[in-house]
């Protein structure tokens, strides 16, 4: 039966995971409110038409009030409707109300009460609709003619008031008045809602960074705050839209929502071309630095006359690497290629013996002229085996190892002296310089042919396959299935 007993560390992390999800959820709600607050003014006309309850609840947050001029205008029209229903069009009171509407219309056209709310388009639409309806090219004349007894009698009171309610009244209702503070900025009381989120997220930020500083030696509380720099954006009273950065991080890290696929798709093309640019830049920069080192002779001096440098241990890394390679060559590689080495030595020694003066002298001695060929073969085999045994045993023997090291040191010393020859260095520098230039040109040309997006897609595919493989692995007894 599978055990579902969770280890103590998992149980201790369980509340922390839920707390992270809770904080991420609160941060997400705050971001939604921030976006709503930023978009409220541009979308207020839509809310008035479709969700008037939202306007009723949120206008006090922005300290938005109905504009007195347009509100009074609408009320005057309502008084006109009531008077028309009681006294008719030709009454003295009706004529007075129409004169009042004509005067208010002139004031609205001249003073533009929409300027406070930055509704220039709505104001222009108001004038244009009345001009088209009355067929007059001037807004003041259009309103004056519309609010006259002759015009209302001509087109009909019902039709005229229906046009006003359907086409003019909505443009008057969306206008508003909004006070400004001593700095000339519109008064906005959103901070009264936002302060609770700032305090909550700020306390969480202090607690998280304090835990990080205690759990990680050498990391101060301030260092931990710098590492989580994005959480500082929660504390800014302005530029609140920047909170999308810490909210995205919190939501993704807490696992509240899986944003991996969304982030991958959003950053796919920019990341592909940025990675291509960066890799090309790094490669070209490294090659150019190597070329400069070759051209100035710094590379040759660093090889032939190395300066003392800081070591992480007392072991000479170069000698250790050479020693390890020799051990692998003698004890691992040579035994596997021993037949080939013996064949090569046998062939070389046999040819050398048959051509040597000693062998030619033996041919002149009576009785040894017909020295059998198999004797030469046996001698060559013996010398080949002996050479291989000498090579194998000399490295493991203490005295042989010392002689071998002496040979190696003398070889490196002589080679270093020969490489210091100016002619040799000049030739090697030219060849290395040209080789690096060819490498740079070919790399850049090849990089242009490759599609960075396809490379990034391959890397993303490998990452997804690795994640799927890890998920398919059976969990062990440490609390996993």
| pLDDT tens digits, 322-366 | 667 666 776 677 677 767 766 776 677 666 666 666 566 655 655
Contacts of 14 (CB under 8 A, 6+ apart): 6
pLDDT of residue 16: 72
Contact 400, 358 (CB under 8 A): no
Top mean pLDDT of 27-36, 255-264, 272-281, 304-313 is at: 27-36
Residue 369 has pLDDT above 60, yes or no: no
pLDDT at 297 over 50: yes
Say if residue 4's pLDDT is above 70: no
Q: Of all residues in the chain, what percent carry a pLDDT higher than 90?
A: 26
Most confident of the following: 216-225, 285-294, 350-359:
216-225
- pLDDT at 306 (0 to 100): 57
Residue bearing tokens 């040894």: 368
More confident residue, 132 or 406: 132
Question: Which pLDDT belongs to residue 170?
Answer: 92
Q: Which of 194-198, 404-408, 475-479 has the lowest mean pLDDT?
A: 475-479
User: 């950065």: which residue's tokens?
Assistant: 245
Q: What is the pLDDT of residue 271?
A: 67
Q: Which residue has the higher pLDDT, 88 or 392?
A: 88
The model's pTM? 0.58
Res. 80 pLDDT band, cuts 50 70 90: very high
Q: Report whether pLDDT(441) > 60.
A: yes
User: In the predicted model, is pLDDT for residue 141 greater than 70?
Assistant: yes
Kindly provide the residue ranges of all beta strands, DSSP E only, lying in 9-113, ordered along the sequence: 65-66
Q: Minimal CA–CA distance to 260: which of 450, 454, 468, 453?
A: 468
Q: Among positive and negative, which fits the CA dihedral 40, 43, 45, 50?
A: negative
Mean pLDDT value across residues 454-477: 66
- Backbone phi and psi for residue 458, each to the nearest 5 degrees, phi listed first: -65, -40
- Burial classification of residue 192, based on how many CB atoms lie within 10 Å of its CB (0-12 exposed, 13-18 middle, 19 or more buried): exposed
Whole-angstrom distance, CA of residue 34 vs CA of residue 194: 8
pLDDT value at 310 more than 60: no
Whether 266 has a pLDDT exceeding 80, the answer reads: no
Q: Is the pLDDT of residue 477 over 50?
A: no
pLDDT-based confidence at 448, cuts 50/70/90?
low
The pLDDT, as a whole number, for residue 402 is 73
pLDDT at 53 over 90: yes
pLDDT score for 437:
75
State residue 160's pLDDT score.
92
The more confident residue out of 409 and 115 is 115
Res. 189: pLDDT tops 80? yes
Mean pLDDT of the chain: 77
State residue 3's pLDDT score: 40
Q: Could you read off the pLDDT of 157-166 as tens digits, one per residue?
A: 999 999 999 9
User: What does 174-226 look like in DSSP terms, one character per residue?
Assistant: T-EE--B-TTSPBP-TTHHHHHHHHHHHHHHHHHHHHHHHHHSTT--HHHHHH
Q: Which band of pLDDT confidence, cut at 50, 70 and 90, is reported for residue 15?
A: confident
Q: Which two tokens stand for residue 280?
A: 């090309």
Q: Which two tokens stand for residue 26?
A: 């609160």
Percent of the chain at pLDDT above 70? 62
- d(CA 170, CA 173) in angstroms, rounded, equals 5
Q: What is the mean pLDDT of residues 86-113?
A: 91
Lowest-confidence pick of 10-19, 276-285, 289-298, 365-374 = 365-374
The predicted pLDDT at position 478 comes to 41
């Amino acid at each position: 039966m599978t055990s579902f007993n969770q280890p103590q560390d998992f149980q201790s992390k369980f509340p922390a995971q839920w707390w992270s999800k809770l904080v991420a959820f609160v941060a997400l709600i705050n971001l939604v409110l921030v976006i709503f607050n930023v978009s409220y003014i541009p979308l207020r006309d839509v809310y008035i038409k479709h969700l008037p309850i939202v306007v009723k609840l949120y206008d006090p947050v922005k300290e938005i009030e109905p504009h007195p001029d347009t509100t009074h205008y609408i009320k005057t029209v309502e008084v006109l409707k009531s008077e028309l229903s009681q006294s008719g069009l030709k009454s003295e009171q009706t004529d007075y109300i129409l004169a009042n509407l004509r005067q208010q219309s002139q004031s609205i056209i001249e003073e533009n009460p929409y300027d406070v709310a930055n509704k220039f388009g709505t104001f222009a639409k108001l004038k244009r609709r009345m001009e088209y309806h009355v067929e007059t090219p001037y807004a003041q004349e259009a309103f004056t003619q519309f609010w006259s007894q002759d015009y209302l009698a001509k087109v009909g009171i019902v039709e005229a008031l229906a046009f006003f309610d359907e086409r003019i009244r909505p443009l008057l209702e969306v206008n508003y008045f909004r006070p400004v503070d001593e700095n000339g900025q519109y008064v906005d009381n959103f901070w009264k809602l936002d302060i609770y989120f700032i305090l909550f997220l700020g306390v969480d930020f202090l607690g998280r960074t304090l835990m990080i500083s205690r759990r990680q030696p050498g990391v101060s509380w301030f260092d931990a705050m710098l590492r989580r720099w994005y959480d500082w954006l929660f504390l800014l009273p302005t530029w609140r839209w920047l909170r999308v950065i810490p909210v995205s991080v919190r939501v993704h890290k807490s696992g509240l929502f899986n944003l991996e696929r969304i982030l991958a798709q959003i950053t796919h093309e920019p990341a592909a071309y940025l990675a291509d640019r960066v890799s090309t830049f790094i490669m070209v920069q490294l090659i150019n630095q190597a070329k400069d080192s070759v051209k100035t002779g710094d590379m040759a001096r660093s090889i032939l006359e190395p300066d003392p440098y800081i070591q992480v241990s007392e072991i000479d890394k170069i000698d250790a690497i050479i020693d390890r390679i020799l051990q692998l060559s003698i004890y691992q590689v040579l035994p596997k290629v021993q037949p080939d080495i013996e064949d090569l030595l046998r062939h070389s020694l046999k040819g050398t013996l048959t051509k040597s003066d000693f062998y030619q002298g033996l041919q002149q001695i009576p009785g040894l002229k017909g020295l059998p060929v198999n004797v030469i073969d046996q001698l060559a085999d013996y010398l080949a085996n002996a050479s291989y045994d000498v090579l194998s045993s000399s490295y493991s023997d203490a005295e042989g190892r010392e002689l071998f090291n002496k040979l190696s040191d003398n070889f490196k010393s002589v080679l270093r002296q020969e490489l210091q020859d100016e002619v040799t260095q000049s030739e090697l520098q030219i060849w290395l310089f040209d080789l690096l230039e060819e490498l740079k040109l070919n790399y850049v040309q090849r990089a242009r042919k490759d599609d960075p997006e396809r490379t990034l897609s391959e890397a993303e595919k490998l990452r997804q396959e690795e994640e799927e493989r890890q998920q398919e692995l059976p969990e062990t007894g440490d609390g996993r299935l």
